[in-house]
């Protein structure tokens, strides 16, 4: 990894029911924000929110959503690939993806390189309970981990609720990820949003760039933004409010773990990856792969519960 400036953009979706014209307008708004952000900050890595091309809650059937979106690469990714090549940046964008059969839709994020090539597609492996097909939603979960080499460093991707699951980010860190992009449409609370990004950054000593949705999606759900950039020592170095716009920060591997706390003269002697007790992990592998045992009851969503972002 080399030093560079990263940015997280939060942009509101166009109001109204999803149509090809609305999706085109959403894409154009995203492109405009990226252009302005890069011109002002010099960012070389830019992250956009989850489902930025449509808004999170589609307010239509899964089959209709499948008809409206595209395969990746395809019509949904090409404008972003063209812009990344034009600006010479690495770009991470959240978008729904058409699956192999009508009715199979993935919640995906793409990573585009400076030459416009598609470095990777990550499909959300932990859809939120109301988003997942298994819970009556519209998203089929993915089953792969995506970490890509770039001139900036090794970059992984998680999407929103994925950030609640330590294993996914740990796998990416073990695979060499130095930066994890987290496109999101998180609604539960700003505290949970911040907590989970900081925890995943600190667990694995990686930078986390969280771009959270703002505005109102096609189903009328309101998002709070608060996009942020977190250091490998869990310090938030850039944080947005709820407005449309961006935050940016300089990421420098030389200073990422240079002190125990920000600005301290005390150096950090531990490393969460280096110091893992692998014998313990091997000894409990079967339990780690088994259904969890818990004393707490877990109720399902209320019958009148309206799906919301995460």
- The phi, psi pair for 23, rounded to 5°, reads -65, -40
What one-character DSSP code corresponds to residue 194?
Answer: H
Domain that holds residue 68: 4-258
pLDDT of residue 304: 47
- CA separation, residue 246 to residues 33, 37, 212, 222, 285 (Å): 8, 7, 10, 18, 41
pLDDT of residue 292: 81
Residue 293 located in a structural domain? no
Residue 228 located in a structural domain? yes
What one-character DSSP code corresponds to residue 306?
Answer: P
pLDDT of residue 152: 98
Residue 271 located in a structural domain? no
Residue 108 located in a structural domain? yes
| CA triple 174-180-186, angle to 5 deg | 125
Residue 52 located in a structural domain? yes
154 Cβ partners below 8 Å, 6+ apart?
Answer: 1, 147, 148, 175, 176, 177, 178, 179
Extract the residue ranges of the chain whose pLDDT is less than 70. Answer: 298-309
Query: What is the CATH number for 235?
Result: 3.60.110.10
**Residue 15 tokens, joined:** 């109001």
Residue 288 located in a structural domain? no
User: Cα–Cα distance between 202 and 200 in angstroms, integer?
Assistant: 5
3-state secondary structure 146-173: CEEECCCCEEEECCHHHHHCHHHHHHHH
Residue 272 located in a structural domain? no
- CA separation, residue 3 to residues 6, 24, 45, 234 (Å): 10, 34, 11, 18
Is this structure's pTM higher than 0.85?
yes
pLDDT of residue 94: 98
**Residue 167 tokens, joined:** 């294993």
Domains held by the chain: number: 1
- Per-residue pLDDT of 217-237, as tens digits, reads 999 999 999 999 999 999 999
What one-character DSSP code corresponds to residue 308?
Answer: -
Residue 279 located in a structural domain? no
Positions marked catalytic: 50, 124, 160
User: Cα–Cα distance between 144 and 134 in angstroms, integer?
Assistant: 19
pLDDT of residue 293: 81
């Amino acid at each position: 990894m080399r030093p560079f400036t990263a940015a997280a953009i939060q942009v509101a979706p166009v109001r109204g029911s999803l149509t090809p014209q609305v999706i085109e307008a959403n894409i154009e708004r995203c492109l405009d924000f990226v252009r302005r952000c890069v011109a002002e900050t010099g960012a070389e890595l830019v992250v956009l929110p989850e489902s930025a091309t449509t808004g999170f809650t589609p307010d239509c059937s899964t089959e209709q959503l499948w008809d409206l979106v595209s395969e990746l690469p395809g019509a949904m990714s090409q404008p972003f690939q063209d812009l990344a090549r034009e600006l010479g940046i690495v770009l991470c964008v959240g978008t729904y993806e058409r699956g192999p059969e009508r009715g199979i839709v993935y919640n995906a994020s793409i990573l585009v390189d400076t030459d416009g090539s598609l470095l990777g597609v990550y499909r959300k492996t932990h859809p939120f309970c109301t988003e997942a097909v298994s819970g009556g939603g519209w998203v089929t979960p993915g089953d792969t981990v995506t970490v890509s080499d770039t001139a900036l460093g090794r970059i992984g991707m998680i999407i929103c609720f994925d950030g609640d699951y330590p294993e996914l980010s740990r796998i990416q860190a073990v695979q060499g990820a130095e930066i994890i992009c987290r496109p999101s449409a998180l609604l539960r609370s700003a505290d949970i949003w911040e907590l989970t990004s900081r925890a995943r950054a600190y667990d694995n000593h990686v930078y986390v760039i969280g771009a959270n949705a703002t505005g109102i999606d096609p189903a009328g759900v309101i998002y709070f933004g608060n996009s942020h950039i977190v250091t490998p020592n869990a310090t938030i170095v850039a944080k947005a409010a709820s407005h449309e716009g961006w935050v940016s920060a300089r990421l420098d591997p030389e200073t990422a773990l240079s002190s125990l706390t920000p600005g301290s003269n005390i150096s950090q002697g531990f490393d969460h990856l280096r110091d893992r007790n692998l014998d313990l992990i091997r000894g409990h592998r079967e339990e780690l792969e088994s259904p969890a045992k818990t004393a707490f009851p877990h109720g399902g969503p209320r019958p009148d519960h309206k799906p919301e972002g995460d």
